[in-house]
Amino acid sequence: MTKKDSSTEIEASEIVTQYDEDGNLNSKLRSLKGAAARIISIVAVLMSLFHLYTAFFGVFESILQRSAHLAFALILTFAIYKPSKKAVKNESIPWYDWLFMILSIACYSYYVMNAQVISSRMSYIEPLSMLEITIGIVSGLLLIEATRRVIGNTLVLIIFICLVYGIFGHLITGELSHREFTAMWIVDHLFYTVTGIFSVPLGVSATFIFLFILFGKFLEVSGAGQFFIDLSVAGMGKYRGGPAKTAIVASSILGTISGSAVANTVTTGAFTIPLMKKTGYKSHFAAAVEAVSSTGGQIMPPIMGASAFIIASYLGVPYMDIAVAAIIPAVLYYCCLYFQVDLRAKRLGLNGLKKEDLPKVSTVLKTGFMFFVPLVVIVVMLASGTSPMRAGLFSIGVTIVVAAFKKSTRLSFSKMYKALDLGARAAVETAVACAASGFIIGIIGLTGIGLKFSGMIIDISGGILIVTLIFTMITSIILGMGLPTVAAYIVQVPLTIPALIALGVSPLAAHMFVFYFAALSAITPPVALAAFAAAGLSGSDPMKTGMTAVRLGLAAFIVPYMFVYGETLLLVGDAPHIILSVITSIIGIIGVACAAEGWLLRNALWYERIILFIGAILMINPGIVTDLIGFAILALVFFYQKFNPKSTSVEHTISS
């Protein structure tokens, strides 16, 4: 990687840290210097080494593993996250955050040291001592403050509402009322069992997710990120709209590794957005392409985002089952984006990059072909039934080995130290989000509100599945606007997913439906962080970029409904039906792209776009009758344009 490339990545990482939930550039992180920076760096490396140790020798007892993981995350949170945007101290840690760090160590060390005793005690029957109650309350307050800093006020508000309901819900009359719980009972349930803070999401974060985040950082430090970008440019740059297609390919690869839509947007966008603008794309369109491409990385197998591991844990199935089920929806997502980019380039008369500006594929492969090896290893191991934790561990080892073959990519001690440091810091958000979600999971389980809420959803929707799906979609997107994808998904697991399952939706389809829409919040205004981050790089209007991103990601808003009504798109069923569904869905997606861009063989008139969209939806919807009708409609528009080559104002049709 060149010096210029490194500086680009530094600038990109700075942009990631500067975006707040309103899409404004406003750093939440401190830029520590001196002794404090060295101490926190050591803590981060120790966190990574702890997880590597447990991945190699086996995880500890649940509460010990999870409490140690969370203790590290809280120490890093109070060290590197400022208490507010206006906080003055940026290069040192103020006294109160040192106090919070000491309290975090003291409280969560209690769980680490007494994990065996806590696990074997009879919960709710053996009373907690005053010390245990105090430790539970202080631990909770520390976690809530960490959540406020890392995730934002939205999740804190939801936690507050849940706690108030758990304490005072018995005073409510009617269906939402529950039995009275003492403060000791609530603390016991939340902090001394594995059904609250230390529940499944934190367990997945403390094992699978951390290793995959760390794997991504080792790839990043070794230069794999730049290799995949260069390879995308070499392979796609020569075609019309080449830079935009480069963004699609590069972001789909890097996004599936990083699992963060915003981080991926600014990393690849720092390179692809200027190229897109240079070849003729408008700034808002270029930014939207990058945002949609990067967001799709969360649903792109084989690695996907952190939520996929949690879905597998909730369903009790191998992670690879989730990755396989996500293949076709991800393909449809990127097909729609690719064809929209291609049609826009055709309509604008854009060409690819000049030959002299393109690196040769063979040359790029020579410099980094070995980076495919860790990806192949991780896929093969997951497919063979190896645990994700062990697969992540081996992939890190393979990355170190293959990077050693070239001097430019070789991981020195300092580079490995940096990867360990960055990996721990990158895992903080997921760890805090998963732990904080335990408040909600715990209260829902304690009060039984989950089943009641699901019943209310069914009653409101009249038991009509499509209405319930729409309610669930809106809820997922709204939660995702203020929460990371993983948290937005976890919150809904006990609330909306049971309602979908009660109406006949398979558990796999129900979980995937919620997960997809939680991920899509990154490109859905009014709070679309990936789109806003891309707008910051391109200098475009954030809201206009967000609206353009919604249009480019249109397929993603349609496909989840399709796999609910036809699970063949999740590769469930016999081969002939799956193949037919895939073929017709791809044709339908091309129709969606044509309708969205207003171009098939020529500029499409407004009524042609409507007809194209209707035909496309019928093609995507599984079923012989709908497929035949949809195909006939699309064919009708095709031949109508072929024999009526009218020209409309290009300027008018591309003004959007």
What pLDDT sits at residue 481?
72
Backbone angles phi, psi at 33, to 5 degrees: -135, 160
Q: How far is CA 560 from the centre of its chain?
A: 16
Q: Give yes or no for residue 18 having a pLDDT over 60.
A: no
The number of beta carbons lying within 10 Å of the beta carbon of residue 541 is: 14
Burial of 274 (0-12, 13-18, 19+ CB in 10 A): middle
Distances (CA, A) of 332 to 258, 553, 561, 584: 21, 10, 13, 11
Secondary structure letter of residue 521 according to DSSP: G
3-class DSSP state for residue 212? helix
Contact between residue 460 and residue 468 where contact means Cβ atoms under 8 Å apart: no
Q: How far is CA 374 from the centre of its chain?
A: 21
Contact between residue 430 and residue 416 where contact means Cβ atoms under 8 Å apart: no
What pLDDT sits at residue 305?
64
537-561 confidence digits (pLDDT tens): 888 888 899 899 988 888 888 889 9
Q: Which helix (H) or strand (E) holds 656?
A: none
b/e per residue, 549-561, with b = 16+ CB within 10 A?
bbbbbbbbbbbbb
What pLDDT sits at residue 173?
84
**pLDDT band at 9; cut points 50, 70, 90:** very low
216-258 confidence digits (pLDDT tens): 889 889 988 788 888 888 888 888 878 788 888 877 777 666 6
3-class DSSP state for residue 603? strand
Residue 618 and residue 584: Cα distance in Å, rounded?
A: 9
The larger pLDDT score, comparing residue 508 to residue 532, is at 508
Residue appearing with tokens 């700075």: 14
138-176 confidence digits (pLDDT tens): 999 999 999 999 988 888 999 999 999 999 999 988 888
Question: In terms of C-beta distances under 8 Å and separation of at least 24 residues, what long-range contacts does 36-40 make, across chains too?
Answer: 36/79, 36/92, 36/93, 40/75, 40/76, 40/79, 40/80, 40/93
What pLDDT sits at residue 632?
94
Side chain identity, residue 334: Y
Q: How far is CA 528 from the centre of its chain?
A: 13
Arithmetic mean of pLDDT, 107-132: 92
Residue 111 and residue 74: Cα distance in Å, rounded?
A: 14
The larger pLDDT score, comparing residue 378 to residue 649, is at 378
Arithmetic mean of pLDDT, 301-313: 78
Q: Give yes or no for residue 655 having a pLDDT over 80.
A: no
Residue 147 and residue 194: Cα distance in Å, rounded?
A: 20
Contact between residue 399 and residue 256 where contact means Cβ atoms under 8 Å apart: no
**pLDDT band at 402; cut points 50, 70, 90:** very high
The larger pLDDT score, comparing residue 592 to residue 655, is at 592
Residue 586 and residue 30: Cα distance in Å, rounded?
A: 47
Q: How far is CA 495 from the centre of its chain?
A: 20
What pLDDT sits at residue 196?
92
441-463 confidence digits (pLDDT tens): 999 989 988 878 888 888 888 88
Q: Give yes or no for residue 20 having a pLDDT over 70.
A: no
> Which residues make Cβ contacts (< 8 Å) with residue 626, sequence separation at least 6?
618, 619
Residue 29 and residue 10: Cα distance in Å, rounded?
A: 14
Q: Give yes or no for residue 296 having a pLDDT over 80.
A: yes
What pLDDT sits at residue 66?
96
What pLDDT sits at residue 5?
42
What pLDDT sits at residue 276?
84
Burial of 510 (0-12, 13-18, 19+ CB in 10 A): buried
The number of beta carbons lying within 10 Å of the beta carbon of residue 415 is: 17
What pLDDT sits at residue 320?
85
Identify which of 548, 569, 547, 544 has the alpha carbon closest to the alpha carbon of residue 558: 569
562-615 confidence digits (pLDDT tens): 889 888 899 998 899 899 888 998 999 999 989 988 888 888 888 999 999 999
Distances (CA, A) of 177 to 167, 423, 443: 11, 44, 13
The overall average pLDDT reported for the chain is 85
Contact between residue 155 and residue 163 where contact means Cβ atoms under 8 Å apart: no
3-class DSSP state for residue 77? helix
626-645 confidence digits (pLDDT tens): 889 999 999 999 999 988 87
Arithmetic mean of pLDDT, 402-429: 92
Residues 438/443/446/448 CA torsion (nearest 10 deg): -120
Residues 598/599/603/607 CA torsion (nearest 10 deg): -50
The number of beta carbons lying within 10 Å of the beta carbon of residue 8 is: 18
Contact between residue 460 and residue 472 where contact means Cβ atoms under 8 Å apart: no
Identify which of 94, 99, 73, 75 has the alpha carbon closest to the alpha carbon of residue 84: 94
> Which residues make Cβ contacts (< 8 Å) with residue 340, sequence separation at least 6?
551, 552, 593, 596, 597
What pLDDT sits at residue 256?
67
What pLDDT sits at residue 482?
64
280: left (phi over 0), alpha (psi -120 to 50) or beta: left
Q: Give yes or no for residue 418 having a pLDDT over 80.
A: yes
What pLDDT sits at residue 480?
76
What pLDDT sits at residue 257?
65
What pLDDT sits at residue 22?
38
Contact between residue 505 and residue 560 where contact means Cβ atoms under 8 Å apart: no
Q: Give yes or no for residue 277 having a pLDDT over 90.
A: no
The number of beta carbons lying within 10 Å of the beta carbon of residue 129 is: 10
What pLDDT sits at residue 411?
92
What pLDDT sits at residue 185?
92
Asked which of 48-52, 252-256, 356-360, 507-511 is least confident by mean pLDDT, the reply is: 252-256
**pLDDT band at 202; cut points 50, 70, 90:** very high
Asked which of 119-133, 250-264, 432-446, 469-483 is least confident by mean pLDDT, the reply is: 250-264
Contact between residue 305 and residue 51 where contact means Cβ atoms under 8 Å apart: no
Q: Give yes or no for residue 348 having a pLDDT over 90.
A: no
The larger pLDDT score, comparing residue 356 to residue 129, is at 129
Identify which of 139, 261, 330 has the alpha carbon closest to the alpha carbon of residue 524: 261
Residue 312 and residue 210: Cα distance in Å, rounded?
A: 16
Task: Kindly report the pTM of this predicted structure.
Answer: 0.81
